[in-house]
Structure 1
Amino acid sequence: MAHYKEKPTLLQRAERLHPYEMLLYLGMLSSGIVFLFLALAFLFSSRNLLVGMNQTLPVSFLVSTFLLIISGLTATSMRIAFTEENTDKLLGSLRTTVILGFMFTSLQIVGWYELKVKGIVFAGIPSGSFLYVLSGIHIFHLLGAMVFGLILYFQLRKSRKDEIQKLLIITNPFEKMRVRLFTFYWHFMDGIWLILFLLFALSF
C-alpha cells in the first residue's frame, strides 16, 4: 500500500524558513498593512477635490512607473542568470535594477515638485497630502532594497575575480536565497507602486 506524506502545515513551513526569509516576509506583511490603511485613507479623503482642481497626474510619476516596470524585468533576469551560473549577466542585471531604482526615486521627487507647481501642496487638501505620504513611504521602502542591492553587487563583483570563490557563491544556497529574496521584495514594491499609481491616476 502506498504511503502518502502529509503536507506540512503553515506553521511547520514557517519554522523551516531561514531567519532572513522570516524577517522579510514579516516586514512585507507589515508594510502591506501600512500601505493598505493609507490607501484606504486616501480613498476616503475627498479625492473629488483633486478632480475639481482640473489638474493632471505628474508626468514624472508616469515615466517613473514605466522605469519601475522595466526594473521588474531586470530583477527577474537576475534570478535566471544565477540559475545559469552566469555571473556577468547577474551583475549586469543587478546593476541595471539598482540604477533604475535610483532613477525612479529621482523622478518621484521631481513629481513632488510638479504637484507643488499644480497647486497640490503637502499641507493642502488631505488627498493631496496623501500623494506625498504614499509616494514618500514607497521610496523609503525601495531605498532599503537598493542599499541591499548595492551591497550584494559589490560582494558578487569582488568574488568574480577568484574562480574558486565565484564557484562557491554560485553553488551556495545562502547566496541563492539572497538573490531570490531581493528579487521577490523588488517585485513586491513594484506591485505596491502600480496599485498606488492606479489610485492616483483615477483621482485626477
Structure 2
Amino acid sequence: MQNIAMNTENTKLNIRPIKFVLWLFIVASIMLFAAFTSSYIVRRAEGNWVEFEMPSMFMVSTVIIIASSLTMHWAYLSGKKLNFGSQKLGLWLTMLLGLAFLVCQYISWQQLVAEKVFFVGNPSGSFLYVISGLHGVHIFAGIAFLLAALIGVYRNIAQVKNVLRLELASIFWHFLDILWIYLYVFLLLNH
C-alpha cells in the first residue's frame, strides 16, 4: 500500500515540473510578443511609417485557428473519456488546421509582397513579417506537441501520460489561439 502511495506521489511530482516549464515558456512568449507590440507602437509614433492594406488572409487564418482550438478541446475531452478514436481524429484535425493556418500566413506574406511591402525597407512591413513569422514558429512548436500526443495514443501509453500529453498540447494550443487573436486585433487597431 505504501508503494502505491509513493508511486502516486512520484507521478504527481514528475508531472508538475513539465507543466511548470510549459508555463514558463508561455510567460516568456507573452513577454516577447509584448515587447514586439510595444516596440511597434513606439516606432510607429516616430514617423516614416508606410500605410498598407492588412492581408485579407489574416482574417481567414484567424477563423482557422479558432476552429483548431475547438478541435483541440474536443480531442482533450475525448481522451479524458477514453474515446481514443475521437481523440485521434481531433488531434489530426487540429494538426491539419494548424498547417492550414501556416499556409494562410504564407499567402498573407505573398499578398504583402504583391502590395510592395517587403521585410526590408520600411519598419511597418518588417514588424508585420516578424510578428506573424514568430507566431508561425510557435505554431510549429504546437504541432510538435500535437505529434507527441498523437504518438502516445497510437502507442497506447498509460492513460496518465496520455492525459498529460493532451493537457500540455491543449494548454499550448489554446495559448497560440489567444495569442493570434490578440496579435490580429492589435494589428487591426494599430495599423
User: Higher mean Cα deviation, 145-154 or 101-110?
Assistant: 145-154
Any residues of structure 2 matched to 1:1-204 within 5 Å, and which?
18-46=16-44, 53=51, 55-159=52-156, 169=158, 172-204=159-191
- RMSD of aligned alpha carbons: 2.0
- Percent of aligned pairs with the same amino acid: 27
Report if the CA contact (8 A) 2:54-2:188 is conserved. yes
Show CA shifts across 1:139-187 (max 9, x none): 111101102212321331243xxxxxxxx63xx3222111011101100
Show CA shifts across 1:60-110 (max 9, x none): 111111100000111111121012210000000000000000010111011
C-alpha distance in 2 between matches for 1:17 and 1:134:
32
Report if the CA contact (8 A) 2:15-2:164 is conserved. no
So what's the TM-score if we normalise by structure 2?
Answer: 0.85
Report if the CA contact (8 A) 2:64-2:101 is conserved. yes
Residue 43 of structure 2 aligns to a residue in which SS? coil
C-alpha distance in 2 between matches for 1:79 and 1:66:
20
C-alpha distance in 1 between matches for 2:24 and 2:92:
27
Structure 1's unaligned 5+ residue stretches are 1-14, 160-167
C-alpha distance in 2 between matches for 1:194 and 1:106:
17
Residue 121 of structure 1 aligns to a residue in which SS? coil
C-alpha distance in 1 between matches for 2:108 and 2:147:
25
AA partner of residue 142 (structure 2): A
Please list every run of at least 4 consecutive aligned residues from structure 1 whose deviation after the TM superposition is greater than 4 angstroms: 47-50
AA partner of residue 39 (structure 1): T
C-alpha distance in 2 between matches for 1:129 and 1:44:
14
Aligned residues between the structures: 178
C-alpha distance in 2 between matches for 1:45 and 1:124:
14
Q: Which has the higher contact order (CA 8 A, sep 6+)?
A: 1
Closer, same or farther: CA 49–192 of 1 in aligned 2, 3 Å: farther
Structure 2's unaligned 5+ residue stretches are 1-12
